[in-house]
Structure 1
Amino acid sequence: MPASAVVPPVRRPYAAVFRLLIALAAATGIAIDLSLASPGRVLGYFTVQSNLLVALVLAVSARRAWSGRRPLRPALTTAVLLYALTAGLVRHLLLSPLTTNGAAPGWHTLADQLLHTAVPLALLADWFLLTRPGGLRARHALLWLLYPAAYLAFALLRGAALSPGTPARYPYPFLDVPAHGYGAVLAGALLLGALILALGLALAGLDRLRPAVREPINRISPPGPGGLE
């Protein structure tokens, strides 16, 4: 007999609402960016792609928490957290403030803060306080590098295919091959990859230290002797 036939599902409405708000924040930031620039340009950014993953994964996670279904795999939710944190840290530590070119700077600022600050911090809070420890290992940090590596290949191939002078031909200054050359770009990418790996290993280590999530108690009998309630 499956365990689900004996143990009733445990709904987590507060976690569901919080995750839905995170998904909506990511989707709102992306929608604002899409309203201010062409989809081909906007969707080329790692930040936008990673926040698309956030919106999809957190929406599914919210639905599962609301209905009491089994949570998503910890390796998946932590990977999404890692990519959002990477986008936020790169934006705040490596890149200069985004230019608005005179077009609706308030909307640019709102999208910037949603995608690079609010979403990563909210995800970190959800992961640390509302998500069960998932038995993460160092090997997961290596697997999480597959997407950044794929993005690097995508960005370089896309830039090589686009004609010079195309806006955001290379989405980030440190990927600009004509300005720096392939050697410097790849060296910088390796350094950034090492930092992402270190952040992934840190998350895997913190997974063993973060508190276990308290679940609502479902009982069909009292703790002491007596009949069923």
Structure 2
Amino acid sequence: MRDVADSRPARWWHALTAVVCAGALILQLVLVVQGAQVLTTAEPPGLPTRLLRFVSYFTIQSNLLVLASVLPLVRRPSYDGPRWRVVRLDALIGITGTGLIHWFFLRPLLHLTGGPYVADKLLHVVVPLLAVVGWAAFGPRPRIDRRTVALSLVWPLAWGLLVVILLGAVTDWYPYPFVDVGVHGYPRVLLNIAGVGALLLSLAAGLAVIDRRGRRSADSTPDLRS
């Protein structure tokens, strides 16, 4: 039986995901350069600061990981490699967490129109759906083992330490309201970060289970080729 990961629909889906993700990132970058503000009405800072903040958002990093993980799949949908496995899992848990946190906690705070609205929906809704559905439908699997799960936690932990704790302490800027130390204090912010970490770990564990079950299902399917 032909591996679904190597099918033409898989290539097209991964290509669509890459195009939409790249387009969303470029659109958001253009808005940042133009000085568009999200989650704040304050006067925008200088361009270097805006660009630093742009790459500091968990949303942007998650979308960049999605793009990096699907590009090899456009050429070879059954692609594999130890480093790529970590990037792929980080992309999946990051973009899923991005979608969930945005939908339930940040979306009610936003009142966007025009380009910012389009970029917001692409980054927080469309790309997460494309990435997760693409993984569920086309894999490739199996690609998630215990080592991959463990290494996938390095990035979100580094984000919490470098962006929220260190960058926030130096610049007094925080990417999201729920990690604003000036408003909530360190104990509450650390608790919120721990909650996000628990969510991402749960997502990684859940994806690992599905990944293994997908392999067992494939192994139990008879080969119908003559």
Whether TM-score is above 0.5 comes out as yes
| CA distance in structure 2 between the partners assigned to 1:118 and 1:141 by the alignment | 25
Looking at structure 2, the residues matched to 132 and 174 of structure 1 have their Cα atoms a distance apart, in angstroms, of 35
Structure showing greater radius of gyration is: 1
Q: In the aligned structure 2, how far is the partner of 1:11 from the partner of 1:183?
A: 48
Pair 1:152 & 2:183 matched: no
* In the alignment, structure 1 residue 90 sits paired with structure 2 residue 101: yes
Greater CA deviation, 132-141 or 186-195?
132-141
Give, in whole Å, the separation in 1 of the partners of 2:161 and 2:196: 14
Q: Which residue does 1:25 correspond to in 2? A: 20
Structure 1 contact 23–55 (Cα < 8 Å) conserved: yes
**Normalised TM-score (structure 2):** 0.76
CA distance in 2, matches of 1:49, 1:130: 23
Match for residue 35 of structure 1 among 18, 30, 33: 30
Which has more helix, going by share of residues? 2
The aligned residue for residue 182 of structure 1 is: 186
TM-score norm. by structure 1 comes to 0.76
Kindly state the Cα deviation for residue 43 of structure 1 after the two structures are TM-superposed: 1.6
Runs of 4+ in 1 over 4 A off after TM superposition: none
Selected match of 1:49 from 39, 61, 69:
61
The answer as to whether partners of 1:47 and 1:87 remain within 8 angstroms in 2 is yes
Letter in 1 for 2:65: L
- The one-letter amino acid of 2:91's match is V
**1:5 counterpart residue number:** none
Are 2:210 and 1:202 aligned? no
Contact 1:136/1:204, CA 8 A, preserved across alignment? yes
User: Residue 161 of structure 1 aligns with which residue?
Assistant: 170
CA contact (8 A) 1:133 1:212 kept: no
Q: Distance in 2 between matches of 1:97 and 1:59?
A: 33
Aligned residue for 2:76, secondary structure, equals helix
Displacement after TM superposition at 1:13 (Å): 3.2
Identity %: 33
Alignment of 1:2-151 (within 5 A): 12-37=7-32, 38-65=50-77, 71-73=79-81, 74-95=85-106, 96-100=108-112, 105-134=113-142, 136-151=144-159
CA displacement at 1:178 relative to structure 2 = 1.0
Q: CA RMSD in A?
A: 2.4
Report deviation, 1:98: 2.6
Offset, 1:42 = 1.9
Alignment gaps of 5+ in structure 1: 1-9, 224-229
Q: Name stretches of at least 5 consecutive residues in structure 2 with no aligned partner.
A: 33-49
Change in CA separation of 1:125 and 1:87 when aligned onto 2, cut-off 3 Å: same
Deviation at 1:201, TM superposition (A): 0.8
Cα deviation 1:37-89 (Å, max 9, x = unaligned): 23223222100111011112211221223xxxx51344542331111101111
In the alignment, the residues of structure 2 paired with residue 12 and residue 56 of structure 1 have an alpha-carbon distance, to the nearest angstrom, of: 20
Give the counterpart letter for 2:124 in structure 1.
H
Tell me how far 1:99 sits from its aligned partner: 4.0
